[in-house]
Structure formats: C-alpha cells, structure tokens
Structure 1
C-alpha cells in the first residue's frame, strides 16, 4: 500500500489485533492488563482542549474516545479483549455527536465484550479474580492507581503489580509496516508545510505568521494537529531550544529556526530547518549552517542495525568540534576539546530521540546499563545544532545570536537507514532556491 492508503478496517482488524495478540502472549496465563483512555482536559471555563487519546491505549485498541478502559485477559473463555466505554445517549449526541457505544465497539474495534463505563466498578473486579499479575501504567495518574487499588481490594489479592510499559513500550519501539506507512504520510504532509513556509518567509512578518503557513498546509492535507507546539524562532530566539512564543517580527538579515511536525492518524512527524529570513545566507550563517549539515549527514551515514545509540552522539560531537575549531569558535587541540566536551556550550542537547505515536516516543535507550543497539523498524530523529548564545564570551560579534538546527526522521532498515523526510530541501543552496520561488 502507498502512503496514506491504509484503510481504517485494515488497521483495526489486523494491526490492532496483532498487537493485542503479542501483548496477551507476554502477559501469560495468570496475567491481566488494564489500559486507561486519556482524560479530557479543561482549557478555560467549560471548554476542553482538543481531545487526544493516550498513545498506549490507542496502540492496543484503535479507540479514540474518552472515558474508556480496556482489559486484556489471556485465556478468558468469554473473550480476551474487554472494553468499557460510553453508552450511546441520543440527548447528549444532539450536542456532541454520536459515540461508538457497545455494539460498534465489538463490531468495529474487535472487542470480545463491551460494557458501559458505568459498569466498570461492578465488573472489573470479577475479571481480576484469580489473576496473579496485574499490568497497568503504574504511577501515571493517582486517580487510576486508586481505582485499580479499589478493584484489587474486591478481588483475590494478586502476587504482583507490574508496569505494563515494560512490555508495551518495547512493542511500540519497533514499527510495523502499516505504522511506517502512516509515518511516511505524516512526513509528506510536513514536507509540504515546510515548502510553503519557505516560499512565504520574508522580512517584516511575525513568527506566528510563518507558523500559520505551516499549520494551514498541515491541516489542508489531513494533518489536523501538530505533533507538538511549533517553534518559529527568528534571530536570537533560535538559540532558545524550546522557544514557543512565536511573537516577534522576522528581521532582514537574520535566520529563523523552524521546528515543526504534522500528526497524521496519531503518528508524529518532527523536522527542523533553519532559513535565512531574506532568502540569502550571510557568509557567517552559511558557515555555521554547513558545519551543522556536515555533522547531520555523517550521523545519518552511520545509522544501521548494530550501532549503539550513543555512538551517534559521539559522531556529531566530533564533527561539530572539528568544524567549530575551523571557524575559530573553539580553540585548541581537537582531541582535547572532544575529551572536555567543549562543544556542549554550542550544542547542548542530544542528537535525537525515538519517534512514533508520541513525538518523544517510548522505548529505553539503555538495556542492562548498556547503550541500546539500533534495530530495523526503529525510527529516530537526527538533529544536531549550533547555537551561538549571548552568554558565550570571547567570540567575534559577527557570530552572535546565530542558531542553526537541522533535523530529519530516520528509519533503521535491514541494511542501513531510510530518511523519511529527505524530500524537504536541506542544503543551503536548495533552501535559497526554494525561497527565491
């Protein structure tokens, strides 16, 4: 199937069922797992933030409504997947639209049994009875923890309470082919947003105006939500890593750092590009930009199964240190500077992170005190940067307030890697050509 061609039925009937089967096998005959839907959150007064389902819950169920609890019970003769969800209520649906209800929960989402959420306190303790191990997201929500405690008190006490993340987050780390296709689509939408932003960027507009160009294209193409709060930082604002005000005017001669990604069918994109506001890099801006790009390209060249995650950080720091010495921003012997981690005053964050249903996706970076080895199906970002902040002393003023980050999404394959966002212009020349229009 091509990008975006995965049908709703395919994802629900095959993909989600496959995930549940993998989980059930790992729970064992004496285990049981409980997953909670995300809560609705008040924004102001009676108005809620747009609802977004808990990623773990969605991963196992494909169910996007609030007020839901899923139970996974291996070997249960009445069915292994039980869903508690809202009942259909015609009076409420006049105001808020239809809900799935219990019949559709079984028919469309593969639940073996579905009950009203109002019945959960009466039924769920019965499901726990006789189970030795209970898996759930321990410690994420006090209300949920208290509810589980109350259900356990009504059932036979289990021997163990286990955090379901130990199993579930390992499953989520390596993406299936349907997941990869959805991530490709999120990347394609994000690419179109960046192309539009590059063409619309010019001196005098506000950062939020450039942000609006990205978001317009995301939504137009089906990415109705951002994966995270878009960053548009012009001038010195580019040196604030998680700048989010997006309120200043873009100044002729400055750079603007954009970090954004569309969310498509719950899957995140995450890309950074740094643009010259007037469409032309100054010599100093270009020098730093190309120093960062060289580091990013070298890291990507090294991504393959078997390489440890921290090796990517070390590669980036070496290339950045060498280039900072060439530019005169660091002085001394390269090996000594690397040992002293001197580049951290210019590059203070990690080289990247896992990507998937969450923008900073789940999965351990260490296994038994060793850095994790990359495996096929993992998706990570590669995002080196150089930020010449005002606090850095003893440098020529021509470098100050230049902030550059270049970030792409990379899929680990059997033989190497695949850059999911390679279609977004990245070299200085490519960026200038697109901005020129």
Structure 2
C-alpha cells in the first residue's frame, strides 16, 4: 500500500478521537519460543493498517488537538551488532516513505516523552487498542502493560479502549484493498489448482500442503494469510485441523481451507473435492446442497441487510437443501450436519470482525466477508466446506473467489486434465 493509504486511515481515526487525547498503538514483538529462539514476528494488524510499518517494538503516538494532530513514530535505534543477526532496521527516511510520518524518534525516548505530555496537564485521555480476548491472550501485550503503569503513575488520566472504532473502520475496504484482494484470490486459486493437479491415491496431506505453499512462493507469497487447513477423509471432521499427517485415498474428499495474503490483504477460500477427481453419488448430493446454498446467498446479498442475516440464511437455506435429499428432517437437528458459522469478515486479519454488535451492523458497500457453507455427515464419512469471499457492492455483491473452480462440473473438468 502507498503511504497515502495509511495517512488517510489515520486521518479518519483521528476524527473520532476527542481533543486533548493521546493515541498510542504498538506493533508488538515476537514471543519467546525456546532457548534463544523467538517465534516468527508478525506485526499487529491495526498498527500496520495505520502506518505500513512491520518492524517490532515500534509505537505510533498521536497528540490530538482541536485544530491539529502531532504524529510521532518511535522505533528501535540503529544497532550494528543486532542488525547483523536480525536484519537491517528502518531508517527515519525509510519509515517516512512508508508511513508518511516525518517525526521519527528512538524507542528509548518514549517514556520521557510520555511523562512530559502527561505531566503537562494537556492530556486527559489516552486511547489504546485493547483486544477483546483475555489479558494473557492479548496480541500486543504492551497496551496492557502500559495501562497498568498509567493507572499507578497517572491515575487522573482516563484510559479509553478504541478497539471497536478501529475494527469498524477496517471493515469498509478502500479500492486499493479490494484490488489487492483480487490479486490475492488469483494466487490462492493457483495454490488450490496445484493441489488438485497433483492429487492421487496415497498422497499425504503434507504433500498437498507443500503443493499449495510452493505455488504461493513461486508468486512471491512466502507465507499464507493464515495456517493452511488441508485434510482428507476422517480428518475433515476436525474444523481447524493442522496436523497434515494423514493419507488420502480414492473415495476420500480433500478439504482445503486456505488463503494467500497480498499487500496485507488476506482471503479465505475452501473447496471440497475428490482425491480421484470424480465425485461419488453421496459426495455429489452433499456438495450440490452446499453449492446451491452458496449461489443462493450470492444472489440475494446486498447493502442494508444485517450481518447476522448472512449466517442465519445460510443455515436456513442449507437445511432446506439437506431436507430435500432426505438427510435432515427437522431444523432443530441441523447442527448434526452444520457445525460452524457461515460468515466472517476478511481483510488485514482472516477473521476481521470482532465488534460485539457486528451482527446488528448493516451490510455496506466495501465490506468483504466469507460465505462459508459447511456440511459434515459423519455417518457417510463426508465432510467439507465451500467458502467464498463476498464483496458488497452498491447494487448487490460479487464473489471475489469465483476464479477458483467451485462447481462439480468445473472441478471434475479441471482434475480430468491431469
């Protein structure tokens, strides 16, 4: 993304903050894994959304006044020895080119800056991004650590959680985000097709995953947008399955729940397809139910509907399909075959929605979320999901992931060319 994207995002956020307040956002740091090794670093998504910076131990500070905003970027100072081991740190000029923030200071100056601002009496509120999860699950724990210090040292300063404001803003995608998503969809398609192309009896799940990862890497994506789920047969009945140690055989379906990330925009695509390239009678029955449900949803979704409608209607329509083929008689029993929700926003996170009132929010142009139709029939040994990414447009909606084969005919035709 260009720096103007991040500048516009910050300007929009500042408009919702009260004068006399201080905004503090943290990039986070990698937690310890073992010995002298850390987990791979993954920058806080909101910090990247507002700055474009993906370097750990960075802080965005913004002093909100009635007529102006002072932005400061605190980052690690140069350290030749540390950089020899962990890579070059951003210079002030590089950080400015990425973020559009010209006031660059070293992280060592942060607490003296904070003390000066809070002691001046001009700051009455500090805006922090507290995740909705428990304290020990907080992605960016610095916010909680700092909050504890502020409550002790500056009890007269009000702490405000702006998490919902940030997430509400991120929910509406700008044109450059949608463009990045479209491109990410084509890469995801290449990865899924690579798995389909290689599929054969006796293939291990980790081999399917390797095909997907290789296809992404060949297109400049070194890590998927989220941990890939690739399973076969009975392993399809674990919704979030990451082991990838099982073996696929003729008669099994491969369940993939995967997505590439491009320019920080993530997509989330699921397909259920037969190892041998040909759906069995029962597989065809169940996949047709999911396919019909998905097509129906893309025919009716439009601005003005509540977000909660998406999940409710998927469940209701999918039940009707299952009842028609004699699988499920009563709606009360639909949970036997439909195990999870049918919609979640995507974007800078693969599950981008977190607001408590998201279900009541009306669909708006620029929203992108998954239409996720899952069917799990344990007695038949068939479990899969058909998941596509829906962009709400002024007139209705668009299926961004339609580039990936999704109908029975298209999947069988593609796999038949192997």
Q: Deviations along 1:204-226, whole A, 9 cap, x unmatched?
A: 11011001111111121122211
Q: Deviations along 1:161-210, whole A, 9 cap, x unmatched?
A: 11121321111010111111111121111011111111111111101100
Distance (Å, rounded) in 2 between the aligned partners of 1:106 and 1:425:
42
Q: How far did 1:78 drift?
A: 9.6
Give the counterpart of 1:229 among 221, 227, 230.
227
Distance (Å, rounded) in 2 between the aligned partners of 1:25 and 1:78:
11
Q: How far did 1:238 drift?
A: 1.2
After superposition, residues 426-437 of structure 1 pair within 5 angstroms as: 426-437=406-417
TM-score where L is the length of structure 2: 0.92
Distance (Å, rounded) in 2 between the aligned partners of 1:387 and 1:107:
49
Aligned to 2:346: 355
Q: Deviations along 1:219-251, whole A, 9 cap, x unmatched?
A: 211222112211111111112211111111101
Distance (Å, rounded) in 2 between the aligned partners of 1:319 and 1:109:
45
252-261 vs 106-115, greater mean Cα deviation: 106-115
Aligned to 1:208: 206
Change (3 A) 1:330 1:100: same
Q: 1:354 touches 1:363 (CA, 8 Å); kept in 2?
A: no
Q: 1:173 touches 1:363 (CA, 8 Å); kept in 2?
A: no
Change (3 A) 1:30 1:75: closer
Q: 1:135 touches 1:161 (CA, 8 Å); kept in 2?
A: yes
Aligned to 2:107: 117
Aligned to 1:393: none
Q: How far did 1:108 drift?
A: 4.3
Number of residue pairs matched by the alignment? 408
TM-score where L is the length of structure 1: 0.88
Distance (Å, rounded) in 2 between the aligned partners of 1:363 and 1:414:
24
After superposition, residues 4-403 of structure 1 pair within 5 angstroms as: 11-12=2-3, 14-75=4-65, 80-128=70-118, 129=120, 130-138=122-130, 139=135, 140=138, 143-151=142-150, 157-158=156-157, 160-331=158-329, 337-338=330-331, 340=332, 342-364=333-355, 366=357, 371-390=360-379, 400-403=380-383
Q: How far did 1:42 drift?
A: 2.8
Change (3 A) 1:142 1:259: closer
Show structure 2 runs of 5+ residues with no match: none
Give the counterpart of 1:414 among 369, 394, 399.
394
Q: 2:7 touches 2:99 (CA, 8 Å); kept in 1?
A: no
Show structure 1 runs of 5+ residues with no match: 1-7, 332-336, 391-399
